Structure formats: C-alpha cells, structure tokens
C-alpha cells in the first residue's frame, strides 16, 4: 500500500472519529460557565468559550468567529439576566442553528437557576445600565455555581443521554469538592465579615453578600457610567469620614479611577480575577475563589 | 393503591382456589404479578426522575435526599418565591401585552452648515441613483425617526419591522421581513423587504454607521443602501472559521434596477464572507459580492445645454461586483476603553443597454433620441475609527469614484444631443475627505461632529460641518459586527 493511500485512509478515520469523540459541543458565553461546563462534561464535551476574563462582559461584539462556533453548538451555556443582550441574540439569529434558540433545550441560562440579587422594582435607563432580571454577575457567589451545576448537568444529560451517567458522576464529584471548598472559604473569610470595600462596578455584589462584607460605594456614579472627577472626590470625602478597607476591581476594569482614589485616600486597590483566567492563579473555578479570598484577606 | 389491591386479590384468589393451582396457571399469574410489579417500579422511577428534574429546575439539588412530597412542595415554594421577587416581570408576563414585540425607537437630527446648496447636490460623472443622497438640509433638521419592532412569530419564524418616519411626514418601510428559526444546518431564509447582504455597510442600519452619511460609492451605486423586496437564503459552513454564503432574488426595483412591471425576478445577488479572530485582540471579516439587475425604463432628470429639462431613460443590464474587508482591534478584545476599526470596500458597476434622451418637455430641439449606453465605473472608500478614550472616538474616511469608462452612443453619434446636453454624465471622478469626532455617553446615545470636504460636483468643493445626535430608546438592540 502506498503512503498516499495510507495517509488518505488515516485522514478518513480521523475525520470519522473526530466528531464522535466530542459528543456535545458547548458554546459558553463567559469563562466561568465555560469552566463549569468543562468540570461537568469532561472528555465527553467540547467547550468553546466566547469571551475572556479581560473583556468587559457587557461589551462584547457578535464577531464572525462567535457565529461560526454557535453554528455547530449543541448547547449554549450563557449567564442570562440580559448580560449578553448586546450580542447573543445577534449570534443566535445569524447562526442558522435551531437547537440553540431561547426556549430550546440547547439554550441554558445560568441566571434562571440562581438566587438573584438587586432585582430592580422598576426599570428606567436614567438609573444607568441596569438589568431587569437583577444583578447578572451571579457567579461570584459559589453557592450559585452549585445550583447552576446541578441544573447544567441535567441539561447535558438530557441532550446527550449516552453521557448522562458520566455527567451525573462528574457533577456529584464536583459538588462534593465544591461544598467542601465553600466551607473552607467561608471559614477562611470569616474575618472579612462587615469589612467595607469600594467597588468599580456592581459586579462584586454576590461576592460581597456571600462573605458578609459591606459595599461602601462604587467608582461608577451609576452602573455602566465611567467614574467622573466629581464622583471620585465625593468618594474621597466619604473615605476620609469612614474609610473603606480596599477598592476592588475586576481584571477587565480600568484601574485609573481606582488608582487616583487609592493614592489620595491611602487605601489599597485589589484587582480580583472576577472570572476564570482573570489572573494566572484563577486557572479554574477553585482558583478563582482561592485567589479572590486570599487577596481580600490582605485588605483587613 | 388500586394496583396493589389487585395484586393482593390476585394472589389471594390464586391461593384460595385449588382449581387454579396448576403449575402453568400459577406461572401465568406469577408472570402477571411480575409485570405489574415492573410497571409499578417503572412508574415510581419515572416519578422520581420528574421530581429530581423539578429540583434541578429550582436549583435545589442539596435536598435530593429529603422525602418526595416535601421536595415537591419546596420546589413549588421556591419557584413561587422567585416569581414574586420579580413582581413587575410577572405582571408583564400575565397581561395581554405579554407577547408584545421588542420595540425600540431611534431619534436622530443634525445641525448642518454647507458651503454649497444641498439642493444642487450631484455626483457628477455617474447616473443618478435616485436616492436621497444629498447632505441634510441646512441649519437644524430632524433626521429619520426609526421605529424597530421584532419578535418570534412562532417556533418557526421571527419577524422584524423597521419603519422610518420622515421628518417632513410620511412613513417609509426600511425593512419588514420574516426569518426562519427552525431550518438549522446553518441555513437561514429571509423574506420580505430587507437590506441586501452585498457589501459590508449595506446591511447595517444608518444609525449604526460611523459617519453621518454613506460613502460616495453607496450613494452613487446603491442609492445609499440597497433594499430588496424578495428572498434571501444564507448558509454558514460547519467550520471554526466563519464562512457564509448567501443568495438573493428580488423584484430589483431599486437602483441600479428599476420598477419593471414584469413577472419573474428583476434582481439577483450572491455573496460570500469569511471571518475569524487573530488572537484575543483582533477580529476580521472579508467578503465578496455580485449583484445583477435588469432595469427597464429607469429614468433620471437632467438639463440640456440650453437649460431645458430632459429625461434620460435606461433599459438594459446592471452588474456590480465588490469586495470588502473589516478589521477590528481592541486590547485583549476589551472594547470598552480603546479600540480601532479599519474598514474598506470596493465596487465596480457595469451597465450595458440603451439610453433614451427626451427633451420634448423642455427645449424640444431633438425630441426623443435613442442610443447605446455602456459604463464600467469603480468606486471605493477606506475608513478608520479609533476610540482613544472611553466614550470618545475619532475617525477619518477617504472616498473616491472613478469616471473610468462611460460610452454614451447618443453623444458618440455626433448627430443629436452632445456631451453638454448630459451635464450629470460629464467626465468627473468625485472624491471626499471626511473627519469625525463622536462622544457616546452610553450605548444608547451619541453626539457627533463631522467635517467633510466633498468634491462630488464637477469643479466645486462643498465644505460641510454636521453636528448629529443619535438616541435609542427601548429594547436593547444589538449591533452587527
């Protein structure tokens, strides 16, 4: 047999085996849900993460690459609560994939399974960029991740019955480790109870609520509006009256406003990873919380 | 309960009646009992599964070990709590308006200073496209107010309507189309009136453009933007690289076509687009398109050398091909603070047919004259927009159209109307330089200053200053890449 024919046959077997090896194609909108999908799906899934930790999740564009990946996705795992409103509907309507439209089993929104905070009683854009379904940054409460994991695993099992046992077993193992980790984090973070911090955007609310910390203010005068000089000087005055222990930013936030305030108010700026990949310690969901709590503990 | 009683009764009966106590009979009953048991076990399993699904739905996985009844009520309570937490949502969902489409309204307006009268605007050297391609009126002026409505119609179709309310009154339908939701395998079918998929800018709505007006090549070759009344089929390849091909058929009633009053298809087009990412910071797309139309009696008004009104009518074929490319860069893909967009398109419009010259309503020197007409003219633009600071962007655009080849048989004959009787078609290659600076306090508002030096008219420069506002209210519309 000549080498060309052998190569051809090899390619054929590879092509035939390729798609079978990854039973479930998952399109994850944000890194945290991508990481969770990988934890629960393991080898049986092929996870594409549409955004990275250094991107502002509110401002993502419906890039051609996202449409191409959504085209072959079996399951879209998104945050929901309108976090992806600026781009996901466009990707879904252009992808030509009926499996992943809202309402189909192939469309999964984490926010539907979490306990939401800051659900506005009324919505008006004069209040800034608010989300009618509540604060969308729900993954920073690890208990929400556990709830989402349980629901996501069932969804994976529904879409790929052949892998159901594997998904359930992996989820069980993950949740055991996760519950232990939550206990450990809560113990470690006990001294953070009541500690006041200033945030950049309302993207840390779930972390703050979970650890019993206190949000003393935000650099943004209103959600989605960049810090202004007058708002920063108000914060500075407030800081002199009742000092917050730290300014906490996400990896994607502009550090300039925080640095300005930190310099004058003698307070530390902590750049938390915010999601998986936000720094080199936040390699997975465990690392995300390990590093966030370790950093916060330095601020006491 | 009933089944359990039945089993008990069957067993009792089997034991009590010795006539039935034959081996075969007993075996039969045992089988039946086994079947009943199995069915019962299956039902229990099914119920358990349903319960666990209900738990997962309300995110209450921890309580999996608790009793079935209590879990079910707990799940109900949880969902009830979640519902009441969003009281406003509930009332919106339960009312008659629960299925209302998403609605958004775009407000636009300009303040314009132009050194030339906008009413005399002309792109000399090119057959007029008949669209409203001139600059906005001088001083304060309201732009088009756009009303956008969209919703899923049923599990199979989605509907979108975009209505333009003209400042002088009157309603125009920008787009009104259905789109399939359920075709899958990468296919999407669209029908109704829609912006054609040819070119890059054509599908984008005017309020999302980076400049106040369209590039000259769009003004001249497509009357600003090509709307198709027809059907569009698109297919996306199952590859990681974005590959899309599309085809359209339409009535072809808009420039470079014309309303033909004929059965069949008046215009058709095909287009293909590639796109992808280069690392985390750069995204690109590149496309090519081809458009074909059969104008029949497409006319425009002009003036002859004496100043008398003339009408020029073209019948024949119009073919246009084009290529386009877009490159977007933002550090790590985070567009919030800095980003850059480079965009360029090239089109060539070829027309071949007959031209009819008619001055009977004006000077009536030649009456009506027929001649052949051929043209092959390219146009292009290149623009860059740089967000140098959050909310602030600056942009530059260079536009050019090339007169290239235009052969007017009537003039070539030398017996009737001369070149001076076709002033719009005088040899001229328009160019334009445009600068803009805009400020977008939020995604929903934008204020723009635009300066342009427009050489669309032969031998004349129009210096333009525009201040423009764009506001959008209501549903959060996404912007195409």
Q: Convert the pLDDT of each residue in A34-50 to its tens digit.
A: 999 999 999 999 999 99
Average pLDDT on B48-69 reads 49
Q: Does position B41 have pLDDT exceeding 50, yes or no?
A: yes
Q: Do A150 and B391 touch (CB under 8 A)?
A: no
* ipTM topping 0.85: yes
Q: Nearest C-alpha of chain A: how many angstroms from B164?
A: 22
Give the residue from chain B lying closest to A153, CA to CA. B56
Q: CA A91 to CA A279: how far, in whole Å? A: 28
Nearest CB among B184, B234, B328 relative to A98 is that of: B184
Computed over every residue of chain B, the mean pLDDT equals 87
Q: Does position B410 have pLDDT exceeding 50, yes or no?
A: yes
Kindly provide the residue ranges of all beta strands, DSSP E only, lying in chain A, ordered along the sequence. 24-28, 45-49, 75-78, 107-109, 196-199, 214-218, 246-250, 268-272
pLDDT at A122: 87
What six digits make up the tokens of B52? 């666990």
pLDDT at A23: 85
Q: Does position B181 have pLDDT exceeding 60, yes or no?
A: yes
pLDDT band, residue B415 (cuts 50/70/90): confident
Chain B residues close to A151, C-beta within 8 Å = 56-57, 59, 61
Nearest CB among B88, B182, B185 relative to A122 is that of: B88
Could you give the angle at the alpha carbon of A290 between the alpha carbons of A50 and A77, nearest 5°? Answer: 25
Chain A residues close to B479, C-beta within 8 Å = 61-62, 86, 90
**What is the percentage of chain B residues whose pLDDT exceeds 90?**
75
Q: CA B200 to CA B378: how far, in whole Å? A: 16
pLDDT band, residue B21 (cuts 50/70/90): very low
pLDDT at B248: 97
pLDDT at B27: 64
pLDDT tens digits for range B265-313: 999 999 999 999 999 999 999 999 999 999 999 999 999 999 999 999 9
pLDDT tens digits for range B336-372: 999 999 999 999 999 999 999 999 999 999 999 999 9
Q: CA A276 to CA A284: how far, in whole Å? A: 6
pLDDT at B51: 58
pLDDT band, residue B184 (cuts 50/70/90): confident
pLDDT band, residue B96 (cuts 50/70/90): confident
pLDDT at A98: 94
- Check: CB of residue B322 under 8 Å from CB of residue B352: no
Chain B residues close to A96, C-beta within 8 Å = 183-188, 234-236
| Ranges of residues in chain A whose predicted pLDDT is under 50 | 1, 11-21
Chain position carrying tokens 């969209």: B150
pLDDT band, residue B479 (cuts 50/70/90): confident
Q: CA B439 to CA A150: how far, in whole Å? A: 45
Q: Give the single-character DSSP code of B336.
A: T
- Run of H or E residues at A205: helix A205-211
Burial of B279 (0-12, 13-18, 19+ CB in 10 A): exposed
The residues near B474 (Cβ < 8 Å, ≥ 6 apart) are B102, B103, B104, B105
Q: CA A115 to CA A144: how far, in whole Å? A: 7
**What is the percentage of chain B residues whose pLDDT exceeds 70?**
81
Judging by DSSP bridges, how do beta strands B267-278 and B242-250 pair with one another? antiparallel
Q: Does position B62 have pLDDT exceeding 50, yes or no?
A: no
Q: Does position B35 have pLDDT exceeding 80, yes or no?
A: no
pLDDT band, residue B28 (cuts 50/70/90): low
pLDDT at B97: 82
3-state secondary structure of B215: coil
Nearest CB among A68, A116, A122 relative to B240 is that of: A68
More confident residue, B37 or A186: A186
| CA neighbours closer than 13 Å in the CB half-sphere of residue B469 | 11
Q: Does position B128 have pLDDT exceeding 60, yes or no?
A: yes
């Amino acid at each position: 047999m000549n080498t060309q024919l052998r190569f051809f046959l090899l390619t054929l077997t590879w092509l035939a085996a390729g798609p079978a090896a990854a039973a479930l194609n998952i399109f994850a909108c944000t890194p945290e849900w991508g990481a969770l999908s990988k934890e629960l799906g393991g080898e049986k899934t092929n996870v594409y993460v549409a955004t990275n930790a250094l991107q502002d999740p509110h401002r993502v564009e419906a890039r051609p690459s996202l449409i191409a990946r959504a085209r072959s996705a079996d399951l879209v795992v998104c945050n929901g609560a309108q976090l992806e409103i600026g781009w996901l509907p466009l990707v879904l309507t252009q992808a030509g994939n009926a499996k992943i439209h809202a309402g189909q089993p192939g469309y999964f929104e984490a926010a539907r399974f979490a306990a939401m905070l800051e659900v506005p009683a009324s919505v008006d854009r004069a209040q800034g960029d608010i989300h009618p379904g509540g604060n969308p940054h729900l993954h920073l409460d690890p208990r929400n991740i556990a709830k989402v994991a349980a629901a996501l695993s069932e969804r994976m099992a529904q879409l790929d019955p052949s892998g159901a046992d594997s998904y359930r077993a992996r989820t069980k193992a993950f949740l055991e480790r996760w519950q232990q980790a939550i206990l450990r984090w809560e113990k470690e973070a006990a001294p953070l109870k009541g500690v006041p911090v200033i945030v950049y955007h309302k993207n840390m609310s779930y972390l703050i609520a979970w650890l019993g910390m206190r949000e003393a203010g935000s650099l943004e005068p209103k959600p989605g509006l960049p810090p202004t000089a007058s708002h920063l000087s108000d914060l500075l005055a407030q800081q002199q009256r009742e000092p917050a222990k730290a300014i906490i930013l996400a990896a994607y936030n502009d550090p300039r406003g925080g640095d300005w305030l930190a310099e004058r108010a003698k307070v530390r700026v902590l750049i938390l990873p915010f999601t998986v990949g936000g720094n080199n310690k936040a390699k997975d969901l465990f690392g995300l919380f390990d590093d966030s709590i370790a950093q916060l503990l330095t601020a006491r | 309960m009933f089944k359990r009683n039945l089993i008990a009764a069957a067993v009792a009966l089997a034991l009590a009646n010795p006539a039935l106590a034959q081996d075969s009979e007993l075996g039969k009953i045992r089988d039946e009992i086994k079947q009943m048991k199995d069915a019962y076990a299956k039902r229990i399993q099914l119920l358990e599964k349903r319960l666990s699904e209900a738990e997962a739905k309300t995110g209450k996985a921890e309580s999996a070990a608790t009793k079935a009844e209590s879990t079910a009520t707990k799940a109900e309570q949880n969902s009830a709590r979640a519902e009441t937490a969003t009281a406003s949502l509930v009332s919106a969902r339960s009312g008659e308006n629960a299925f209302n489409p998403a609605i958004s309204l775009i407000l636009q307006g300009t303040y314009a200073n132009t050194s030339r009268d906008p009413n005399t605007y002309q792109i000399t050297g090119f057959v007029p496209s008949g669209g409203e391609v001139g600059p906005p009126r001088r001083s304060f002026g309201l732009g088009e107010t756009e009303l956008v409505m969209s919703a899923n119609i049923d599990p199979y179709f989605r509907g979108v309507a975009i209505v333009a309310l003209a400042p002088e009154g009157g309603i125009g339908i920008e787009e009104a189309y259905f789109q399939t939701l359920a075709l899958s395998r990468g296919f999407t079918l669209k029908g109704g009136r829609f912006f054609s998929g040819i070119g890059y800018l054509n599908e984008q709505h005017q309020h999302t453009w980076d400049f106040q007006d369209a590039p000259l090549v769009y003004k001249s070759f497509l009357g600003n933007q090509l709307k198709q009344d027809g059907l569009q089929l698109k297919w996306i390849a199952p590859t990681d690289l974005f590959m899309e091909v599309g085809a359209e058929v339409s009535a072809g009633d808009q420039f470079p076509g014309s309303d033909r009053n004929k059965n069949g298809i008046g215009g058709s087009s095909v287009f293909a687009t590639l796109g992808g990412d280069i690392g985390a910071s750069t995204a690109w797309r590149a496309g090519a398109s081809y458009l074909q139309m059969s104008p029949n009696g497409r006319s425009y008004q002009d003036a002859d050398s004496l100043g008398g009104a003339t009408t020029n009518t073209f019948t024949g074929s119009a073919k246009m091909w084009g290529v386009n490319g877009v490159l977007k860069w933002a550090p790590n893909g985070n567009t919030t603070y800095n980003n850059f967009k480079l965009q360029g398109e090239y089109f060539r419009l070829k027309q071949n047919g007959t031209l009819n010259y008619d001055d009977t309503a004006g000077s009536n020197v030649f009456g009506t004259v027929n001649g052949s007409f051929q043209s092959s003219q390219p146009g292009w633009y290149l623009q860059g927009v740089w967000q140098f600071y959050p909310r602030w962007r600056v942009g530059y655009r260079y536009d050019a159209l090339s007169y290239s080849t235009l052969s007017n048989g009537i003039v070539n004959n030398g017996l009737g109307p001369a070149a001076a009787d076709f002033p719009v078609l005088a040899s001229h290659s328009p160019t334009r330089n445009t600068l803009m600076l805009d400020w977008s306090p939020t995604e929903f508002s934008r204020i723009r200053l635009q300066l342009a030096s427009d050489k669309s008219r032969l031998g004349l420069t129009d210096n333009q200053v525009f201040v423009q506002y764009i506001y959008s209210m209501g549903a959060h519309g996404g912007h195409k890449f």
